Amino acid sequence: MLKVGLTGGVASGKSTVGEMFAALGADLIKADEIAHRLMQPGQLVYQHVVHHFGPEILNSDKTINRARLAEVAFGNSSGQAAEKPPRIKELNQIVHPAVIQYHDDWMEEVGRRNPQAIAIVEAALLLEAGAEKSFDRLVVVTCRPEQRIERWAQRMKIDEESARREVTRRMAAQFSDEEKTKYANYTIDNSGTLEETKEQVQVIYKKLKTGSKLY
């Protein structure tokens, strides 16, 4: 079984790439979805996050308001000076260890079911969390800076200036593409068409399939 980490900066298209790998037969899990599960009421991570950041991050039904939590974690994105400094490192210290344990357990389970499987974990902050040691191969997705802004604006249905501020504050908590690619076994340039990206994914998947038979 081959353990593969898939990462890339905000709005680079790593989720699209992950789905392409899954369509080819890879097992895929997304760190963002893991974090969402772990921050549901009743979970230990939920308790720690609420205790640390306060009840103001909660909705009326006691679920965590992710937009409100992001505002606290990343700082003000309104273009004005933030009243309080970003607290993303504090949030990551709570969430990352639990997410890493979860996806490590998941990969082990995939390997027990299928020793020849390719288990892919998609995670924006994989390298920043120091989780690279969990994987046999790392794939990094890149794109042009302006594409991030355009994609974020389309995804969130906001204007480009608001998207630029949000992308900028999120990228401040991430390694640059140049830093990420230093760790990569494979790099996918997602600046072109979907078909061009799919062709790169297909080539890499064939190489990963060969690698999975060595374990």
pLDDT band at 80 (very low <50, low <70, confident <90, very high): very low
Mean pLDDT of 116-121: 97
Domains of the chain plus CATH, in order, are 2-212 (3.40.50.300)
Closest by alpha carbon to 28, among 100, 106, 98, 142? 106
Helices (H), 114-193: 145-156, 160-171, 177-181
Backbone angles phi, psi at 142, to 5 degrees: -125, 165
Instruction: Give the model confidence (pLDDT) of 172-189 as tens digits.
Output: 889 999 999 999 999 999
pTM of the model: 0.91
pLDDT band at 76 (very low <50, low <70, confident <90, very high): low
pLDDT (0 to 100) of residue 153? 96
pLDDT (0 to 100) of residue 24? 98
pLDDT band at 211 (very low <50, low <70, confident <90, very high): confident
pLDDT averaged over every residue in the chain:
93
Report how far residue 76's alpha carbon sits from residue 6's, in angstroms, rounded to the nearest whole number.
Answer: 29
Backbone angles phi, psi at 143, to 5 degrees: -160, 175
pLDDT band at 212 (very low <50, low <70, confident <90, very high): confident
